[in-house]
Amino acid sequence: MASPSTTLTNHLDILESHAMFILREVAAECERPVLLFSGGKDSAVLLHLAAKAFAPQQLPFPIMHVDTGQNFDEVLEYRDWAAEHYGARLIVASVQESIDQGRVADPGPMGSRNRLQSVTLLDAITDNKFDAAFGGARRDEDKARAKERILSFRDSFGQWDPKAQRPELWNLYQGRVNSGEHLRAFPLSDWTELDIWQYIEREEMKLPTIYFAHEREVVFRDGMWLAVGRFVEPKPSETIESKIVRFRTVGDANCTGAVLSKAATLADIVAEVSVANVSERGATRADDKFSETAMEDRKREGYF
């Protein structure tokens, strides 16, 4: 895989080494890190990089899935496969339990549980005494993310203060926090969607099958193709259609749209993404369409 060379001139090598550096630095500086794992492509890359950074040892931290209870079955299958494949200890933090315990209000069977995840996540961080949480967020995803440091400080309420971020110079990642505070660490900050797909192709990684073109029953709602199933029941006015689709991002089944695509292999997807003219969140995520600062508002509350 790593061909001999005299300088580091390949962007995937540069991004890979930088991410591994961040993973090692945070693991060394923090007492109890955790890697947030959704089963999506970005967290899949993050887990793959973590395995590389600590090979041949086991991961020095667990991975945690914040389970909304509205996931695609294929993604849950992949989550369990990946935990076993990479030898990671998997913790599942359940939004349903937060609802059952009255920590958050139940938005109903069709309502979005996206925003509720913040409470479940922060509770799990507190309960497990985690002082650092790795996330697969990328700065090209959203304008609020574009402003966030690689090591992002959270106060004892889990809040992000975008106006008072720590200076972060060179590769000197400074991870000291007081008790009750924690860090979010984003090793994929400088990766773009295309970088992610090129890397997955290069490393011949496995992903949830819903990323690849397949035939599925869908309905067209709010400008998006939603998969008909347990979490999306067609309204009387909607017609069920059978389409060849794939998913560009993986979120909750009731708010993640499919894209019409025949891209069935990693090479097809790389080719498709390199000429895309709509962003992945714009194409597929109803949760980001509320307001121009939807992501900033959620992040301030402790979101990923």
Q: Which one of residues 146, 206, 220, 230 is an interface residue with other proteins (CB under 8 A)?
A: 146
Q: What torsion, rounded to 10 degrees, do the Cα atoms 113, 93, 133, 141 define?
A: -30
DSSP-assigned beta bridge partners for residue 246:
259
Nearest to other proteins of 124, 283 (CB atom)? 283
Q: How far is CA 54 from CA 17, 39, 105, 293, in A?
A: 12, 20, 40, 37
Q: Does 133 bind other proteins (CB under 8 A)?
A: no
**Rounded least distance, CB 243 to other proteins, Å:** 21
Tell me, what DSSP letter sits at residue 88?
A: P
Choice between 52 and 214, CB closer to other proteins: 52
| x-marked contacts with other proteins along 175-194 as a string, rule CB under 8 A | -xxx----------xx-x-x
**How buried is residue 237: exposed, middle or buried, by Cβ count under 10 Å (0-12/13-18/19+)?**
exposed
Q: Which residues have a Cβ under 8 Å from the Cβ of 147 and sit 6 or more positions away?
A: 162, 165
What is the closest distance, in whole angstroms, from the C-beta atom of residue 19 to other proteins in the complex? 8
Instruction: Give min distance, CB of 254 to other proteins, in A.
Output: 21
Q: Among 94, 96, 128, 174, which residue interacts with other proteins (rule: CB under 8 A)?
A: 174
Stretch that binds other proteins, among 5-13, 31-39, 225-233, 253-261 (CB under 8 A): 5-13
Q: Does 110 bind other proteins (CB under 8 A)?
A: no
Instruction: Please identify which residue in 179, 237, 239, 277 interacts with other proteins, judged by CB under 8 A.
Output: 277
- The residues in 69-108 that bind other proteins, with binding defined as CB under 8 A, are none
Minimum distance of other proteins from residue 146's CB (angstroms): 5
DSSP 115-173: TTHHHHHHHHHHHTT-SEEE----GGG-TTGGG--SEEEE-TT----TTSPPP--TT--
Contact 53, 25 (CB under 8 A): no
Helix (H, G, I), strand (E, B), or coil: what is residue 67? strand
Interface with other proteins, residue 112, by CB under 8 A:
no
User: Binding residues for other proteins, per CB under 8 A?
Assistant: 1-2, 4-18, 20-21, 24-25, 27-28, 51-57, 139-140, 142-144, 146-147, 149, 162-163, 165-172, 174, 176-178, 189-190, 192, 194-195, 198, 201-202, 267, 276-279, 282-283, 292-293, 296
